[in-house]
Chain A
Amino acid sequence: MKSQLFAGAAVLALSASGALAGGHLPFNPGEGAFSWDSYTAWAESAPDLSGQQVTVSGPWLTPEDDVFRSVLAYFADATGAEVIYTGSDSFEQQIVIDAEAGSAPNVAVFPQPGLAADMAARGLLYPLPDGMDEFVAANYGAGQSWVDLGTYADKDGNDQHYGFFYNVNVKSLVWYVPENFEDAGYEVPETMEELKALTEQIVADGEVPWCIGLGSGAATGWPATDWVEDMMLRTVSAEDYDAWTTNDLPFNDPKVIAAIEEFGWFARDDAKVAGGAGAVASTDFRDSPNGMFASPPGCYMHRQASFVPAFFPEDTEFGEDVDFFYFPSFAEKDLGNPVLGGGTLMAITDPSDGTNALMEFLQLPLAHEVFGAQSGFLTPLKSVNPETYLNDALRGQAEILVNATTFRFDGSDLMPGGVGAGTFWTGMVDYTGGKSATDVANEIQSSWDALK
């Protein structure tokens, strides 16, 4: 009986056919708050690429893939080129295999700079068109830092500009349910001292302040690295942070250990985390925000990057059902308001006329606005009209990003893969499991030494 059912399903799968929904130009040129002028000006002088194919590969899957395709549709409309985007969940492995074997796409979207730097050093990437570095330096918020993040040594050791950042996220955010705060009479904290006081206040009221989940399949532990990075930016200077990502400041330096222990203050106390400290490492990061929306609330706050609303319950309204505040800095330490972020970057893996034109197109504000109007997308590009963002939450985050006094990239993505995507992750899992911060830091440092 069961097999008949399945056979039925197969027949249904076979007979199912429907036209793919348009996927073409979601916003009509000239309508809305988009920056059409610069687009039409560029389109008039754009090269005619009819008959050419430009292939792009990246890590975005549903729903971002269709959104990105709709961005590319404007490029195709202006140049006549056929642009194909394919997403893959194992992009990081696949791009290496394809580039090594010689079947790489024209453009690759890297989820983190570490892998791009590695491939540049092996001669598998091609530098961006001339002048792109100047464009980024002049038009991105904290522009030079974005140029530096996209500049790597090539095969011969010369620094070249390879990576153009597109789709950025802000990590220093704390999400909360305003009505739950209202019910309990809590105020949004302005400083780290207030945040800690609020945490203790919630514990004193017999409730659980935080939801923290580190689970992420093979990448389990990465949310904790973001915590530690945020704590580093709030306890040491940005120069020390940069030195830390290159290991000029050793991982077992007392400053780093202190930052790990700051994270431990939140995560290693049974009373402060939903499910107790033991549940931190085993809770999936995708499930952990759900505690805020439970009845009664399983927790009151959740620190996670700007992409996390994708995992909130359906129909959650921003500003009403859920809101965020900036993960505050210590008032007593004069370090400004540092912002931690991450992002994807575009790099050329197989150059053609089409890739150069595509890179020009991506400098237009429209290429950023169309993505931001449909999905959780942020850009440091200053010429983007904030009105086009999908919701107020994104507008608020974009403001944090553009006005950041110190912007620093996710440190674990800058460290060598064996540390930033290896021992740092597992070390953090061990730390939440009860190992001392000193032991964990020593182990991570020795794994880094082994890589040198």
Chain B
Amino acid sequence: MDNIAGSKSSLTWAVHISVLALVLLWLFPTVGLFVSSFRTGDQIATSGWWAALGEAEQNIVLRAADPDDNRVADGDQFVVTGNLLEAEGASGTITVWGTSSRAIDAYTAGETAELKGTETITVDAAGNYEWRGSEDEISGRGQRVFATITAPPEFTFENYDNMLFDPSNSEGMAKAFFNTLTVTIPATIIPIVIAAFAAYALAWMDFPGRALLIAMVVGLLVVPLQLALIPLLKLHLGIGIGKGYLGVWLAHTGFGLPLAIYLLRNYMVGLPRDIIENAKVDGATDFQIFTKIILPLSFPALASFAIFQFLWTWNDLLVAKVFLIDSTGQTTVMTNQITELLGTRGGNWEILATAAFVSIAVPLIVFFAMQRYLVRGLLAGSVK
């Protein structure tokens, strides 16, 4: 008799463990991306983000200062001194080092390496070096030193700085930000308004062919929007809308409507019949019932669809590229701006990670502001 209502299921632990596993699975890539957004491109290319969290042992290539500018005569020899780590902007402690790519751990910190002829170099744990030899030997390029260092975690705000404040990017980003808002806000409101009216009619007004209409709306859910791109753009150009905000609003409205109508109709159909019939008996028109009773009661469903539609239009790149962005380059959206920052061959991972967190900011605010409606709205219609 374990499973009587009110008593605790014996499988609670299984639920907890699977929830924990799902949460970890979900968070893992996000945390990785977040850590990566504070690392430089070179760091990302050479080591995983987890290596950045703790003190790590790294092999790095350092180089002594240019001898032609820095050497000092000492008797019949020349000397170059300095700090290898400071010159590279690195920090840490050198444990072992070498001067050839074939033997990178030939010497321990503090030892002196004998190179060709009379040339010697001494490197200590802090990276201070003394490179000594005859005039010919101390010339050309600085001596390479391969060092194994233990380095503390190192993070940088450079990526965010580059993305938000660099003069060549920030104007484009600010413009893209406002353009995206110009696209998303009407593209969220217009379908909701239309869908609310349609959903009421499909749920509570009797007319012939209603069931068929509902079936068609459900059918439209499975039509891929890619099918409509070229014909719709041709239509927009043909009737003179062209590429622009009006076109992208219409496209988003059209692509969002089937889901909106379906979601809202299912919610409205679950509202108590008695209230609506009472209102009818009292002489209310359909429009009055809709505005005074249905709309206030449907608020959770409207809010949850608004979140969906807002997130989808905010993250959208495809529809914006086809219906909004023309060859004059005056209109752009955040997603497009970000892919452009990635570079011609898409190698700038640090920008991608940073851009993800910059672009996520607004959807997060919207989500946290409205999330209490989301769960209610999603459940609405499914549980009666």
Contacts and interface: CB of A to CB of B under 8 A. Distances in A.
B102 interface: yes
Contacts of B358: 9, 13
Interface in B161-182: 164-165, 167-168, 170-174, 177
A101 interface: yes
B10 to A, nearest CB: 36
B243 A103 contact: yes
Given A17-B170, A20-B168, A314-B42, A293 B340 contact: no
A55 B329 CA distance: 9
Interface residues of B, number: 59
Interface string A11-22: 011101111110
A19 B46 contact: no
Given A10-B365, A61-B344, A102 B61 contact: no
A102 to B, nearest CB: 5
B174 A295 contact: no
B127 to A, nearest CB: 15
A373 B223 CA distance: 50
Contacts of A100: 230, 234
Chain B interface, DSSP helix/strand/loop, else mixed: helix
B356 to A, nearest CB: 11
A16 B173 contact: yes
A10 B361 contact: yes
Contact of B327 (A86, A101, A179): A86
B331 to A, nearest CB: 10
Contacts of B42: 313-314
Contact of A296 (B41, B104, B368): B104
Contacts of A104: 327
B364 A56 contact: no
A90 interface: yes
Nearest to A297: B101
Interface string B138-166: 00010010110000000000001000110
Given A84-B328, A89-B342, A184-B102, A17 B233 contact: no
Contacts of A311: 345, 347
Nearest to A63: B343
B346 interface: yes
B327 A55 contact: yes
Contact of A84 (B61, B327, B348): B327
A295 B164 CA distance: 34
A280 to B, nearest CB: 18
B347 A62 contact: no
Contacts of B134: none
Interface string A418-431: 00000000000000
A7 interface: yes
B41, B173, B341, B345 — most chain A CB neighbours (10 Å) = B345
Contact of B322 (A7, A20, A97): A97
Nearest to A87: B340
A296 B329 CA distance: 46
A28 interface: no
A58 to B, nearest CB: 10
Nearest to A308: B345
Nearest to B367: A3
A164 B41 CA distance: 35
B167 A18 contact: yes
Contact of A53 (B234, B321, B328): B328
Contacts of A86: 325, 327-329
Contact of B329 (A13, A18, A85, A294): A85
Contacts of B141: 320
A451 B361 CA distance: 47
Interface residues of A, number: 63
Contacts of A9: 160, 164, 357-358, 361
A101 B347 CA distance: 32
A101 B230 contact: yes
A55 B327 CA distance: 6
Nearest to B63: A321
A320 B61 CA distance: 14
A286 B357 CA distance: 23
A89 B346 contact: yes
A57 B321 CA distance: 13
Interface in B246-265: none
Interface in A197-243: 207, 217
Interface string B36-66: 0000011001100000000000011100000
Contacts of B46: 290, 294
B363 to A, nearest CB: 9
A267 to B, nearest CB: 21
A19, A57, A290, A296 — most chain B CB neighbours (10 Å) = A296
A424 B1 CA distance: 64
Given A16-B165, A20-B171, A61 B343 contact: yes
A59 B347 CA distance: 14
A66 B341 CA distance: 12
A60 interface: yes
Interface of A: 3, 6-7, 9-10, 12-14, 16-21, 53, 55-57, 59-66, 84-90, 94, 97-98, 100-106, 179-180, 183-184, 207, 217, 286-287, 290, 293-297, 307, 310-311, 313-314, 320
Given A103-B242, A313-B42, 13 more contacts: A3-B364, A3-B365, A17-B170, A85-B329, A89-B339, A89-B342, A97-B230, A97-B233, A106-B327, A286-B346, A295-B101, A310-B343, A314-B41
Interface of B: 41-42, 45-46, 59-61, 100-102, 104, 141, 144, 146-147, 160, 164-165, 167-168, 170-174, 177, 229-230, 233-234, 237, 242-243, 321-322, 325-329, 336, 339-348, 357-358, 360-362, 364-365, 368
7 contacts: A12-B164, A13-B164, A61-B339, A97-B230, A179-B101, A183-B101, A184-B101
Q: Sorted from nearest, which 10 A-B pairs have the closest CB atoms?
A: A105-B327, A55-B327, A18-B167, A6-B361, A101-B233, A295-B59, A86-B329, A16-B170, A286-B347, A10-B361
